[in-house]
């Protein structure tokens, strides 16, 4: 039995990954390690939570005593590290939370791995990272594996720092690692602070849809299930000590994405005039202009390609949010209301 820790497994991408691994790896014991912040929710794992090969641990990865105790209780062979503060707008409001989890949390896990995995070459520390570490592109440019790091938000700076620490542990201590940097994910279970689920929930509630600035900023979108399939393949066949770029070659201006969501929502629900909800609001400070990825040729050579088309993925995602009103109510209760008022109160009047 291979013992695998998935940190951040109760979050958006983490829950897709845990479900995928439970269903495809019959000889793996999956341990979800999650602090259950506002973004983590055991409901995301409802269908696998009590599976005989799944164990949940509520742990803050930056708390070295808790990580040490957990290591004694359930020492891992593989760490799939997804736990993070993940929202750029929140990183602008409170950067230290991002340093705590994304930097200190990552190094705390690396320290435990360094101590306990000494001399083992059959282990893996897999760092799930973002294309945002590469900064912002001009029209027509793409990120590649050769792009230099140039993080420009507190979020991307904290992820870049974490990536650098992972490489440093590989170089200095011989830690077997992999890093993948992926574009913007979407799909079911995404916390409704991010552009796509925020737009869908505002469509459902017929509220103004806030588009920052001119709406011409570009993000490269991929369905979370395609991301998870790439991670699975790289765990099996990715070269240790390497970095891979994951993307579905789907860069789109935000306004185009929001308009598409409006059209699909109207088609699916029989509503009309959703586009009139689009409201241009004050831009995000330091808003990166364009992210676009040339996925690693070696990832394609291993046989990975995205399976979910953007329109079909968005249709399925809208349908999921429409059929999960209780999930939405619960994740948006409490502290999220305060964040939402602070973030959008003035912008949307
Ligand atoms: P998310 O915000 O939905 O989930 C993050 C999870 O981490 C939550 O379950 C939260 O409870 C947990 N967590 C936060 N702080 C913790 C701590 N100190 N200790 C333990 N658990 C903690 O994030 P996501 O969108 O699922 O992203 C997962 C990973 O993928 C992150 O590392 C992110 O940087 C990376 N990533 C995300 C995207 C994207 O578009 N969402 C794209 C590329 C890479
Ligand atoms: P987001 O989902 O926050 O992801 P990231 O900032 O990590 O790319 O935002 C995606 C894009 O959508 C980004 O260019 C900012 C923009 N955006 C809006 O226009 N309005 C919003 O309310 C949000 C949350 C984002």
Per-domain boundaries in the chain: 2-186+222-246, 195-218+251-289+309-336
Q: Predicted confidence band at 336 (pLDDT cuts at 50, 70, 90)?
A: confident
Name the catalytic one among 131, 193, 226, 288: 131
Burial of 283 (0-12, 13-18, 19+ CB in 10 A): middle
Determine if residue 31 is left, alpha or beta; phi over 0 gives left, psi from -120 to 50 gives alpha, anything else beta.
beta
Question: How far is residue 242 from each of residues 31, 113, 167, 178, measured CA to CA in Å?
Answer: 25, 18, 9, 6
Domain pair 2-186+222-246 / 195-218+251-289+309-336, same fold? no
Considering Cα of 323, then 324, then 325, then 326, what sign does the dihedral take? Answer: positive
- Using one digit for the tens of pLDDT, what is the confidence trace for 222-268? 999 999 999 999 999 999 999 999 999 999 999 999 999 999 999 99
Looking at residue 14, its pLDDT comes to 98
- Using one digit for the tens of pLDDT, what is the confidence trace for 184-224? 999 999 999 999 999 999 999 999 999 999 999 999 999 99
Superfamily of 2-186+222-246 according to CATH: NAD(P)-binding Rossmann-like Domain (3.40.50.720)
How remote is the CA of residue 9 from the centroid of ligand 1, in Å?
8
Contact of 222 with 248, CB cutoff 8 Å: yes
Tell me if residue 227 falls in helix, strand or coil. helix
DSSP state at residue 143: B
Residues with CB under 6 A from ligand 1: 7-8, 10-14, 34-37, 39-40, 60-62, 82-86, 101, 105, 128-130, 159, 182, 184-185, 191
Name the catalytic one among 85, 132, 163, 225: 132
Name the catalytic one among 29, 60, 85, 155: 155
CA 46, distance to chain mean position in Å, is 19
Weakest mean pLDDT among 124-138, 245-259, 333-347: 333-347
Is residue 155 among the annotated active site residues? yes
Q: Which atom of ligand 1 is nearest to the CA of 129?
A: 44
Whole-structure pTM over 0.85, yes or no? yes
Query: How far apart are the C-alpha atoms of 162 and 236, rounded to whole Å?
Result: 23
Query: 195-218+251-289+309-336 domain in CATH 1.10.268.10?
Result: no
Burial of 146 (0-12, 13-18, 19+ CB in 10 A): exposed
């Amino acid at each position: 039995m291979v013992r695998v820790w998935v940190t951040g497994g109760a979050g958006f991408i983490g829950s897709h990954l845990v479900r995928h691994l439970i269903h495809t790896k019959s000889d793996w014991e999956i341990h979800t390690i999650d602090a259950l912040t506002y973004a983590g929710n055991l409901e995301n794992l409802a269908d696998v939570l009590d599976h005989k090969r799944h164990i949940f641990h509520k742990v803050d990865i930056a708390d070295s005593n808790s990580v040490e105790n957990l290591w004694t209780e359930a020492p891992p062979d593989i760490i799939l590290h997804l736990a993070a503060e993940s929202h750029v707008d929140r990183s602008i409001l409170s950067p230290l939370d991002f340093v705590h989890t994304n930097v200190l949390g990552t190094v705390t896990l690396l320290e435990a791995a360094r101590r306990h995995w000494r001399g083992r070459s059959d282990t893996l520390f897999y760092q799930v990272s973002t294309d945002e570490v590469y900064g912002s592109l001009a029209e027509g440019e793409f990120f590649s594996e050769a792009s230099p790091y140039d993080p420009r938000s507190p979020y991307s700076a904290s992820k870049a720092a974490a990536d650098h620490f992972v490489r440093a542990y590989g170089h200095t201590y011989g830690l077997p690692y992999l890093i993948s940097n992926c574009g913007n994910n979407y799909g079911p279970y995404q916390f409704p602070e991010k552009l796509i689920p925020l737009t869908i929930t505002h469509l459902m509630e017929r509220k103004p849809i806030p588009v920052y600035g001119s709406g011409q900023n570009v993000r490269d979108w991929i369905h979370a299930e395609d991301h998870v399939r790439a991670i699975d393949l790289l765990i099996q066949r990715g070269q240790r000590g390497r970095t891979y770029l994951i993307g579905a070659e789907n860069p789109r201006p935000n306004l185009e994405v929001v308009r598409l969501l409006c059209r699909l929502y109207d088609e699916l629900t029989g509503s009309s005039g959703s586009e009139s909800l689009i409201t241009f609001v004050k831009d995000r400070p330091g808003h990166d202009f364009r992210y676009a990825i040339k996925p690693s040729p070696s990832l394609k050579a291993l046989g990975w390609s995205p399976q979910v088309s953007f329109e079909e993925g968005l249709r399925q995602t809208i349908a999921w949010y429409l059929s999960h009103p209780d999930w939405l109510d619960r994740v948006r209760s409490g502290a999220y209301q305060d964040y939402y008022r602070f973030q959008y109160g003035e912008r949307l009047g």
